[in-house]
Amino acid sequence: MVTKSSLVRLLVVSMVVVSAAATAVAEPAKVEGVWNLVLQLESITGHPVLTLKQDGEKLTGTYEGRYGPTPIQGEIKENKIVFAVAFEVEGSKITGAFRGTVDGSKMSGSAEFEGAGSGTWSAERAKPGK
């Protein structure tokens, strides 16, 4: 027989389980700030600077490399980061797509640049005052 107290107990247990599941979703890694990148593509190596702004999982900011600053857009889910850049080089639009993993003050992954091939990248958070 189902009693009122057993229903209340079941309801409380259900609420605890739902609450625990909701808090189990990990927050995105905190990546806002300046990052020094090393980009190694098939045809070139670069050392761009990435300045990120973060609003939850949404990323915006600038990528400043050989061809000057360009806006970026991307997202971060837990420790997985993706972002894209687009700029003009000698009248041609070049796009780059980055995927990677954040590990504290470091991150790394793969990159593909239209016209320049694919490769890898790594980054370290810039030291304050540098």
Res 28 pLDDT > 90: yes
Distance CA 83, CA 87 (A): 14
Q: Report the distance separating Cα 33 and Cα 44, nearest Å.
A: 26
Q: 């890898």: which residue's tokens?
A: 120
Total residue count of the chain as it appears in this document:
130
Whether the Cβ atoms of residue 61 and residue 73 lie closer than 8 Å to each other = no
pLDDT at 5: 57
Query: Is the full-model pTM beyond 0.85?
Result: no
Tokens of 3: 């009693």
CA 130 – CA 127 distance, rounded (Å): 6
Distance CA 106, CA 79 (A): 11
Q: How far apart are CA 10 and CA 69, in angstroms?
A: 57
pLDDT score of 26: 84
3-class secondary structure, 63: strand
Is pLDDT above 80 for 101?
A: yes
**What pLDDT band is residue 97 in, cutting at 50, 70 and 90?**
very high
Bridge partners (DSSP) listed for residue 72: 61, 85
Domains and CATH numbers, the chain: 33-125 (2.40.128.120)
